[in-house]
Amino acid sequence: MSIQPGAYLPDATLAVVDGEIQQQRTTDLFVGRKAVLFAVPGAFTPTCSNKHMPGYVKHFQEFRQRGIDVMCLSVNDAYVMQAWAKAQQVPAGLLMLADGNGNFTRALGLELDGSAYGMGLRARRFALYAEDGLVRQLHIEAPGELNVSTAEAMLAAIAD
């Protein structure tokens, strides 16, 4: 069962990439923040690189103007997330969260078994909005889709 609105984000340690790489607990990372967390199945994969991430880069300032932080989660290591951030020209402040072993993703109940494609455990494509670690909205994509977790969809959902 996946996390639901009204639940607090689980405690886990992630590698946070914002230029530098630092280990941080999710309980500390989300405290006192309004945040959109979007997850991708893999850095450097076609849909993630060509469609999902570019929308968040393009609309990053719109989120910031609303007082909302933006974070990208993937079951990749921190060095892959750092290289992907550079390749995608991710602005400073858009946090890249590396969940290398998938512990946080599993705790959310949003893991994807990509073994059939040689990818192992990955995160499902989703986006959530949380305030002070409390999930207010959760939008999970159907397999192969990119509709409800885009930057544009989240901006519209949060405005409602």
Q: What is the pLDDT of residues 119-129, one digit of tens each?
A: 889 999 999 99
With respect to residue 26, please indicate whether it lies within any of the assigned structural domains.
yes
With respect to residue 102, please indicate whether it lies within any of the assigned structural domains.
yes
- Residues linked to residue 123 through DSSP beta bridges, in sequence order: 111
**What residue ranges in the chain does DSSP mark as E strands?**
13-18, 20-25, 34-39, 69-74, 95-98, 111-113, 121-123, 126-131, 134-140
The residue from 48, 127, 135, 151 that is catalytic is: 48
With respect to residue 5, please indicate whether it lies within any of the assigned structural domains.
no
With respect to residue 6, please indicate whether it lies within any of the assigned structural domains.
no
**pLDDT of the residue at 160:** 61
Tell me how far apart the alpha carbons of residues 106 and 83 are, in angstroms, rounded to a whole number.
24
The DSSP letter of residue 8 is B
Q: Is 72 part of the annotated catalytic residue set?
A: no
With respect to residue 2, please indicate whether it lies within any of the assigned structural domains.
no
In the predicted model, residues of the chain with pLDDT beneath 50 are: none
Tell me how far apart the alpha carbons of residues 99 and 136 are, in angstroms, rounded to a whole number.
22
Query: Which residue segment(s) compose the domain that 103 sits in?
Result: 13-159
Q: CB of 56 within 8 A of CB of 70? A: yes
Q: Look up the CATH number of the domain holding residue 79.
A: 3.40.30.10
With respect to residue 3, please indicate whether it lies within any of the assigned structural domains.
no
The model's pTM is: 0.96
With respect to residue 7, please indicate whether it lies within any of the assigned structural domains.
no
With respect to residue 8, please indicate whether it lies within any of the assigned structural domains.
no
Question: How many domains is the chain partitioned into structurally?
Answer: 1
